[in-house]
Structure 1
């Protein structure tokens, strides 16, 4: 089964220093390497800040596009992993390691099949 591990980023907090970011990148890189070595890695990526987003909406045949996130919230999706795992317990264990590595909460969601 495939799981999405989403990094919950609070954009209202101050940005980490370059030194803090480099340390976080090193920790995340080590977790990524272990995921790959264990054969659970499918795909991962970081995202630009939410103000770079465009929301596309179609209602009654009319398309509208707005800048930034539609939801008014402090937390945004800052990055993610897609992993192929046997069960939720494995996903939660990787989420714990990932949260520790990146210093942010991780939301775990199973995929509803694959297209």
Structure 2
């Protein structure tokens, strides 16, 4: 009598998932940067995140966003950026690429940075 098995083979679902795109919001010199990248990870430099493969929207001949163009020119030739962890506001994995932009950081908060000791001269 042959052995009977209830086991069945379920073929794996091969999804053709697009590579992840991350929206990174961080503070830099009183400005809020909202950028998109494909690679984000903790750096070997303690306290920093590495952001690689910046992604900018396709250039359309009808509409040109000046803030995105400014960011694109500012990060032209940049392979990797090291951003301090305390400057990161938020990181989201998004389905679609949005518009990269720079805006002024709004004050009004009551959070103050911890005072640093004065350097010795």
Mark the structure with the bigger radius of gyration: 2
Q: Which has the higher helix share?
A: 1
* Structure with higher RCO (Cα < 8 A, 6+ apart): 1
